[in-house]
Amino acid sequence: MTIDATLQTTATTRHEASSTAWFWWKETRQLAPLVLLLIIVALMIVLLNIITEALIRSAGIRLPNEVVMLVFPGLFATGAGPLLVGQERMQRTLQWLSLLPITAKRLLMTKFLVALAGLTAMWCFAGLVIVGFGLGSPTESPWQIGGRTSYSTNPFSYPVWIVHSLYILLAGFYVAWRIKNQFYSLVALIPLAFAPIIMTSITGGILDRPLMHSELDWMNLGFTLLGIAVIAPLTYWTALHALGADAAPALSKLGSSALSPAQILADGTAPKFGTRIAPIIWQSIHSASGSLAILAGMILISLFAAMRLASIRYLNGIDNLLPPLLLAAPLAICWLGVGVFKHDGSAERVRFLADRGVSPRLTYLALHAVPLAILAAAMILYGLWNLAIPHNDDHSAFAETLPTLITLLVFAAVLYSVSQWTSQFVRTLILSVILAPILAAIIAGWLFFSFTQLGFSLGGLVICALAPVAATFFMMRRYMDSRDRPLTFVVGGLVVALIFMLPIASAAWRIGSIPNMAANQRAELLDEARIIQRTTRKPIGVSIRGIEPSNERPFDFERDPIKDIAYSLNGYSVDPTEIIRPIDADQLRSVPPATVDYWGLDVWYGNFHRAQMRWQQADQADAFDTFKPWLTATAKLLVGLRQSTQLSDQEAADRMEVLLIDTLAQDQMKPHSDDAAVRLVNAALGTPASRSQARRRAVLAQWYGKLTSENERTNWRADYLQHEPRGLIAWIEPRRYEQYIMALLDGATQSQHRSGDDRWLHIVHDFNQSGGIFSSSRYGQRMRAMPAIETMTLGQLTGYAQLWGRDWEFANPDNSPTSNDAE
């Protein structure tokens, strides 16, 4: 477009616009970066929310969207005044604006009204999001300003938030008009913004009683309205004063405003430095001595607040202000980071050093030296104090939860690192000061989540924490030469990608390292499982009556002990024939699949032995007849259980077989080896091959059942998942389960052939007893070498396959049947 054409366009489109429209356009445009950054940050939080929810699938930490929506208008209110006024004052554009025929009143009112319109828009947006996405409730507000963080049934909290944001907006304008230095004005805004809450706490302290939520809301509203009434006229007069002529410096008593001789001498003497780095450090101290003092003070205030909190057990009155004061330290750490590339570290100022050939590395180190020294001093103070105080709940709940020095160090490193990067990335001081703590908090929160929920390693954490430092170091030469853009955006994108993708990649690698089935293997096994599922009859439940589990009997102080004894005795007077009646059949081959409650095995085992002992201790010749029903019933139950496609039933069947084999091996049984009951037992006992086949069927059926039914609760144990990162359980579980299924299938085969390969045992052990030592576990060789009858668990399933492939499977009872005619 030619110059004339462009001018023509301007003339036709802009000339008609009124000065008010132009003024509003200008002010709105100046607010745009703040709004844009807040929107980006809000979207980042929402995105993180989505990522975290996707990762942990409806469990774990969830960032509250509602509070984001409530807080962001407040952040806008915080930044609007300093941006519209403070920045213009610092860049001297306000002076140029003052040259135009605009009255001071119009100028200040336009700026405020634009900010107010922006705040209204922010609240409309927040309200729409809260209502549209159902983030809040029309009758409840979970987030209160001040007071306790809990649900309030009083919906009045929302208006308090809105009114408070208006108060912050006014206070922001007040400090921006009052204090020319943008950083100081923001620091001054903090106590001013919290003044109503401080007043509420003081009032609570005076009343000396806990305040109801509604009382807190009313008090906050009252003090906030009072604050508005005070700050509004103050802002107006301060603005008028600021827009007027600068006052002449006051004269001293001697009629002169000259500096003291000492000051003149100090300022007039050229400092001498011993090293090349010293002058830059000297410069960074002197250019921001006030800011550094304020930030060090904020850290100390937090430390004092922590000391006080660690010395008291309950918060009352003014002590309620202590927890918010703890936030001063992280905020100060963020601002220490921001200070690195602001003041004399800003691009315009370091150019002075670049023009004189000072190396970027030296400059970089020097700019970081003072903030890091302050941080180090703070850490040492914290570490020493932390060592000196008792950490138990009896003393102070706060003291018990104090982080270790290492934890705090990592946290501080992340905050500082992100903030100094933000400072180099965002040139505007005010935007850096607002944005850095938000970004640092988000990234610190993400890394904390990654570490605790995704199993992100400490090494990875350090890499992510130091990535922003590496980025600023890498960009330092270009930054000093003011040619860091647009590369800085590329590097910034890489840093963000690294910080967010490395934990995800690490988690993906962790998940991917778990072996799972190959696609064709899975398809084949699924086909096999489908056939099993289709061809197997549903097992019939066999209820082993006896002593019920104690946890099903409510504890009763007034119960009758006689009844308890009778109840216990009843537990040992069960009739085995009656119990197996649902599956009873004349021939073993006719016995249908059966299933039992695993706890009932204990009852069966006890009654079986009781009957056995009675027979062995009796003098009558026909005493064996009293034991035979148990042999017969156990054999039939075993056959029924082996046909079941539930793994727990296979485990029960294993135990029935162990019990029967042990019984048959006893000397007292030899005279009865030709008894029909004994022959029935021998016929019921399986072979390694038949057991292997039954187990394989059960494993596949159970796997298929889990895959096809969300609600099906399998009995397999997953204790080891407690040791996996919580956020990855949903991802790890299917692969671990497949790995487990493969190990069980392998185990079924290995057991048949009595293989010495125990890799499958290790996997099953890890799965069932994660954290335990394999060699001393029930899967270890020492335990497996012992007789199964002595080591098997009853009543409680502590893990599948503990009895698989052990000696009992290959035992040949002396009284084995000579024929299978018992069938």
Give the number of other Cβ atoms within 10 Å of residue 219's Cβ: 22
Are 794 and 655 in contact by the 8 Å Cβ rule? The answer is yes
Relative orientation angle of helices 458-480 and 347-355, to the nearest 10 degrees: 70
Are 197 and 145 in contact by the 8 Å Cβ rule? The answer is yes
The minimum distance between CB 18 and another protein, in angstroms, equals 6
The minimum distance between CB 323 and another protein, in angstroms, equals 41
Q: Which is nearer to another protein, 101 or 132 (CB)?
A: 101
Are 142 and 151 in contact by the 8 Å Cβ rule? The answer is yes
Contacts of 461 (CB under 8 A, 6+ apart): 410, 447, 450, 451
The minimum distance between CB 93 and another protein, in angstroms, equals 5
DSSP string, 520-534: HHHHHHHHHHHHHHH
Are 309 and 398 in contact by the 8 Å Cβ rule? The answer is yes
Residue at 324: amino acid letter? P
C-alpha torsion angle, residues 594, 598, 602, 608 (rounded to 10): 10
Are 292 and 285 in contact by the 8 Å Cβ rule? The answer is yes
Q: CA–CA distance from 251 to each of 255, 259, 410 (Å)? A: 5, 11, 52
Query: Which residue has tokens 């293997």?
Result: 521
Residues making contact with another protein (CB under 8 A):
1, 3-4, 6-7, 9-11, 14-15, 17-19, 21-23, 25-26, 29-30, 91-93, 95-96, 98-104, 244-249, 251, 256-259
The minimum distance between CB 468 and another protein, in angstroms, equals 26
**Alpha helix (H) ranges present in 644-772?**
647-664, 676-684, 688-708, 729-752, 759-768
The minimum distance between CB 30 and another protein, in angstroms, equals 8
Helix (H) / strand (E) element for 594: namely strand 594-596
Contacts of 70 (CB under 8 A, 6+ apart): 126, 143, 161
The minimum distance between CB 6 and another protein, in angstroms, equals 4
Rounded distance, CA 657 to CA 674, Å? 19
Rounded distance, CA 334 to CA 319, Å? 25
The minimum distance between CB 300 and another protein, in angstroms, equals 32
Phi-psi group of 799: left, alpha or beta (phi > 0 → left; psi -120 to 50 → alpha; rest → beta): left
Question: Token digits for 331?
Answer: 């905020």
Q: CA–CA distance from 260 to each of 248, 267, 289, 764 (Å)? A: 19, 11, 20, 83
The minimum distance between CB 165 and another protein, in angstroms, equals 26
Q: Which is nearer to another protein, 429 or 681 (CB)?
A: 429
Task: Tell me whether the omega of the peptide bond preceding residue 486 falls within 30 degrees of 0, making it cis.
Answer: yes
Q: Of 688, 738, 746, nearest to 716 (Cα)?
A: 738
The minimum distance between CB 51 and another protein, in angstroms, equals 34
Rounded distance, CA 744 to CA 758, Å? 11
Give the number of other Cβ atoms within 10 Å of residue 809's Cβ: 21
Contacts of 369 (CB under 8 A, 6+ apart): 277, 281, 284
Q: Which is nearer to another protein, 246 or 710 (CB)?
A: 246
Q: Which is nearer to another protein, 153 or 257 (CB)?
A: 257
Q: Which is nearer to another protein, 255 or 771 (CB)?
A: 255
Are 658 and 788 in contact by the 8 Å Cβ rule? The answer is yes
The minimum distance between CB 103 and another protein, in angstroms, equals 6
241-263 in b/e burial notation, b at 16+ Cβ within 10 A? ebbeeeeeeeeeeeeeeeeeeee
Looking at the DSSP assignment, which residues form a beta bridge with residue 541? 595
Helix (H) / strand (E) element for 540: namely strand 540-542
Are 683 and 818 in contact by the 8 Å Cβ rule? The answer is no
Are 608 and 616 in contact by the 8 Å Cβ rule? The answer is no
Q: Which is nearer to another protein, 46 or 102 (CB)?
A: 102
Q: Which is nearer to another protein, 26 or 609 (CB)?
A: 26
The minimum distance between CB 246 and another protein, in angstroms, equals 5
The minimum distance between CB 257 and another protein, in angstroms, equals 5
Rounded distance, CA 6 to CA 1, Å? 6
Question: Token digits for 284?
Answer: 């960074």
Q: Which is nearer to another protein, 195 or 243 (CB)?
A: 243
Looking at the DSSP assignment, which residues form a beta bridge with residue 141? 152
